[in-house]
Structure 1
Amino acid sequence: MFLLSSGVFLWSLAHLLKRIAPAFRASLGNLGKGLIAVAILISVLMMVFGYQQVETTHYWGRNPAMVGINNLLMLLAVYLLVVSVVKSALANRVRHLQLSAVKTWAIAHLMVNGDSASFVLFGGLLAWAVISVILINKAGKPELEKRPTSLVRELIAAIVTAVLFGAIAMAHMKLGYPVFG
Structure 2
Amino acid sequence: MGTSLLILGVALWAGAHFFKRLAPEKRAEIGEAGKGAVAIALLISIVLMVIGYRMAEPVWLWIAPFWMVHVNNLLLFIAFYLFAVSGLKTNLHRRIRHPQLSGFKAWAVGHLLVVGTVQGLILFGGLLAWAVVSVIVINRANRDWARPPEAPMWKEGVAVVGALFLMLVVGQIHGWIGPWPFGGA
> TM class by shorter-chain length?
over 0.9
Task: Tell me what 2:172 maps to.
Answer: 170
- Is it true that 1:60 corresponds to 2:62 in the alignment? yes
SS, match of residue 177 in structure 1? coil
Alignment correspondent of 2:27:
25
The corresponding residue for 1:156 is 158
Structure 2 residue aligned with 1:47:
49
Deviation at 1:64, TM superposition (A): 2.1
Instruction: Please say if residues 95 and 144 of structure 1, whose CA atoms lie closer than 8 Å, have aligned partners that are also in contact.
Output: no
* Partner residue in 1 for 2:37: 35
Match of 1:132 among 131, 134, 148: 134
SS in 2 for 1:180: coil
Partner residue, 1:105: 107
Moved over 6 A (4+): none
What do residues 119-159 of structure 1 show as CA deviations (whole Å, max 9, x unaligned)?
Answer: 11101101111111111111133324332222321221111
Unmatched segments (≥5 aa) in structure 2: none
CA distance in 2, matches of 1:172, 1:142: 39
Whether the 8 Å CA contact 2:89–2:148 is kept in 1: the answer is no
**Residue type of the partner of 2:35?**
K
| Number of residue pairs matched by the alignment | 181
| Aligned residue among 116, 119, 122 for 2:118 | 116
Shift of the alpha carbon at 1:114?
0.7
Q: Which runs of 5+ in 1 are unaligned?
A: none
Q: Structure 1 length as normaliser, TM-score?
A: 0.95
**1:74 Cα offset (Å):** 0.7
- CA distance in 2: counterparts of 1:3 and 1:31, whole angstroms: 26
* Matched-pair contact (CA < 8 Å) for 1:74–1:105: yes
Kept in 2: contact 1:73–1:104 (CA 8 A): yes
Pick closer, same or farther for the CA change 1:26–1:3 going to 2, 3 Å: same
The equivalent position to 1:90 in structure 2, one of 78, 89, 92, is 92
Cα deviation digits, residues 23-72 of structure 1 (max 9, x gap): 11121111111111111111111111111121121011232221111111
- 1 CA distance for matches of 2:88 and 2:133? 25
Distance 1:4 1:175 in 2: 18
